[in-house]
């Protein structure tokens, strides 16, 4: 198979269309040849120089721009990289790319620059994912989380666990391979104790309420309550568009309708669910089943009821806990007579908009309280799965009948941890064995 990194790739680093500038990046072994053919002698590394860019065939001037040269390995991809800052027109970009293609370079595949950066050890898999998340971030909290991951904090945690496990395995292997060596008698207890500590740390990290994943995918807020309470109207009011159909006929919202909103920098997915009431036809019952399921899975619930029927609020009691906000609607018809402390009930009118800002403030505070994240947290199901596997392997090692079996459990756990950052190798194990035990001496 051809090594794809033997090829030199190029791609515009800026969005297509008219702009003041367009940046074109070139990466790979032929970057130097391409740059010198287009722009003359190589500039010193990492120093911007203004050049005339000329088609080497026919000497036609293509543009007048800035060039930069990043020799390997000190570049974004770890390969030789050239950057061309061109005038941002389609014609200029097309002309330069045509010349590059003629010189034997090819257009990069999606994500290929990042992929090469990973292959060359410039970034780990977590950082590669963070780059994708950063590009897709829609709210401030998502941007902050992606940047945190890009800085490498998460990778440091997982690599730290992996290093500790490599050390534990090394100790265990030494005990297996050299039974006659005089190993400290307490080694068994130490391995056990350290494994327990490691499992506890991984489990604590896993027990984060999926905050990172939720921040990445959007925090689920379900609007629930009896039929006709005004759930669809509330959703429409919040979304400021007609996302759900409102109707004076009870039981018309038969499925779940979602609207994604940015609430003070946090991504929230609001879902309007079918009315909760007994009876109805099969479709209505199905709608109700989905509503209940959705409401149960949601992180936060807005329980909407008609302010004229305060007794309806009791319906919210099937969801215990602080994450249900009671909303008394239609206060334009009947003023809310009960307590209107935000922590108890928020009175609103979905029709006139009264109280909506207050409701959004209360909801926003609840979301910010729950999802304000300072330390690096899990952001993807892929990481969670690998960590759960690692923890399971380590827990299994406690019951291993033979040290060899326990070593195998350790190796499985190592592989799971290694998969997260993309560094699965066991060569480093040998280094540790010899460093810690000086066996060959
Ligand atoms: P859902 O079944 O809970 O989704 O309720 P809808 O949003 O479909 O609303 C049911 C009926 O109540 C519709 O006729 C709405 O126009 C009306 N409605 C909703 N909110 C208000 C409100 O704040 N004030 C008044 N007067 N009517 C409302």
> Atom of ligand 1 at shortest distance to CA of 226?
3
Pocket-forming residues, ligand 1, beta carbon under 6 Å: 227-233, 246-248, 253, 275, 329-330, 332-333, 349-351
| Residue nearest to ligand 1 atom 11, measured at CA | 248
Ligand 1 mean position, distance from CA 309 (Å): 14
Q: Transcribe 356-371 into DSSP letters.
A: HHHHHHHHHHHHHHHH
Neighbours of 332 (CB within 10 A): 14
Atom 2 in ligand 1: residue holding the nearest Cα: 228
**Locus of tokens 């399921």:** 293
Q: How far is the CA of 196 from the centre of ligand 1 (A)?
A: 56
**Angstrom distances, CA of residue 341 to CA of 45, 327, 410:** 63, 11, 54
E strand intervals along 48-112: 49-54, 61-70, 81-87, 106-107
Q: 195 C-alpha vs ligand 1 centroid, how far in Å? A: 57
d(C-alpha 399, C-alpha 168), whole Å: 16
User: Which pLDDT value is given to residue 433?
Assistant: 37
Ligand 1 geometric centre to CA of 231 (Å):
7
Tens place of pLDDT for every residue, the chain, 441 residues? 457 678 999 999 888 777 889 999 999 999 999 999 999 999 999 999 999 999 999 889 999 999 999 999 999 999 999 999 999 888 999 999 999 999 999 998 877 888 888 889 888 888 888 888 888 788 888 888 888 888 888 888 999 999 999 999 988 888 777 666 555 667 778 888 999 999 999 999 898 878 888 888 888 898 988 889 999 899 888 877 544 545 444 444 456 677 888 888 888 888 887 655 556 677 767 767 777 777 788 889 999 999 998 888 887 777 656 688 999 999 999 888 776 554 578 999 999 999 998 999 889 988 888 887 777 788 888 889 889 999 999 999 988 878 889 999 999 999 999 888 876 653 444 444 334 433 322
pTM above 0.85, yes or no: no
Which of 233, 237, 275, 350 most suits a substitution to test ligand 1, by most atoms within 8 Å of the C-beta?
233
What is the distance in A from the centroid of ligand 1 to the CA of 331?
Answer: 11
pLDDT of residue 126: 84
From 220, 398, 208, select the one nearest 300 (Cα to Cα). Answer: 220
DSSP string, 244-258: S---SSTT---S-EE
Which residues contact residue 412 at a Cβ distance below 8 angstroms, ignoring those fewer than 6 apart? 389, 390, 393
In this structure, which residue's CA is closest to atom 18 in ligand 1?
A: 230
**Interatomic CA distance for residues 9 and 82, integer angstroms:** 10
């Amino acid at each position: 198979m051809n090594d794809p990194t033997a090829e030199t790739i190029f791609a515009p680093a800026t969005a297509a269309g008219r702009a003041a500038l367009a940046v074109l990046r070139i990466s790979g072994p032929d970057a130097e040849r391409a740059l010198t053919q287009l722009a003359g002698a190589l500039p010193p590394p990492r120093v911007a120089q203004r050049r005339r860019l000329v088609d080497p065939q026919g000497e036609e001037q293509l543009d007048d721009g800035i060039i930069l040269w990043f020799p390997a390995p000190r570049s974004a991809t770890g390969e030789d990289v050239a950057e061309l800052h061109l005038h941002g027109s389609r014609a200029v970009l097309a002309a330069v790319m045509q010349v590059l293609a003629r010189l034997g370079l090819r257009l990069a595949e999606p994500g290929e620059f990042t992929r090469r950066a990973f292959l060359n050890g410039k970034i780990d898999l977590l950082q590669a994912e963070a780059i994708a998340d950063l590009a897709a971030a829609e709210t401030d909290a998502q941007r902050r989380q992606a940047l945190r991951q890009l800085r490498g904090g998460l990778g440091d945690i997982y690599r730290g666990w992996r290093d500790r496990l490599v050390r534990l395995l090394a100790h265990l292997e030494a005990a297996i391979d050299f039974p006659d060596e005089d190993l400290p008698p307490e080694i068994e207890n130490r391995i056990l104790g350290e494994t327990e500590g490691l499992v506890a740390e991984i489990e604590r990290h896993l027990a984060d309420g999926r905050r990172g994943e939720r921040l990445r995918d959007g925090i689920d807020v379900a609007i629930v309550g009896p039929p006709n309470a005004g759930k669809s109207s509330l959703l429409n009011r919040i979304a400021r568009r007609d996302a759900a159909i409102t109707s004076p006929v009870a039981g018309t919202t038969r499925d779940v309708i979602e609207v994604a909103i940015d609430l003070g920098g946090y991504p929230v997915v609001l879902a309007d669910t079918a009315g909760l009431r007994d009876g109805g036809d099969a479709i209505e019952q199905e709608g109700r089943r989905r509503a209940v399921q959705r409401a149960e899975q949601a992180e936060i619930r807005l329980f909407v009821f008609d302010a004229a029927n305060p007794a309806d609020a009791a319906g919210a009691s099937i969801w215990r806990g602080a994450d249900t906000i009671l909303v008394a609607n239609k206060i334009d018809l009947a003023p809310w007579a009960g307590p209107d402390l935000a922590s108890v009930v928020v009175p609103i009118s979905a029709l006139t908009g009264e109280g909506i800002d207050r409701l959004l403030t209360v909801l926003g505070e609840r979301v910010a309280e729950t999802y304000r994240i300072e330390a690096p947290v899990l952001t993807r199901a892929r990481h969670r799965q690998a960590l759960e596997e690692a923890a399971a392997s380590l827990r299994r090692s406690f019951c291993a009948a033979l040290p060899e079996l326990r070593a195998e459990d350790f190796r499985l756990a190592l592989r799971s941890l290694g998969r997260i950052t993309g560094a699965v190798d066991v060569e480093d194990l040998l280094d540790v064995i010899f460093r810690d035990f000086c066996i060959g001496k």
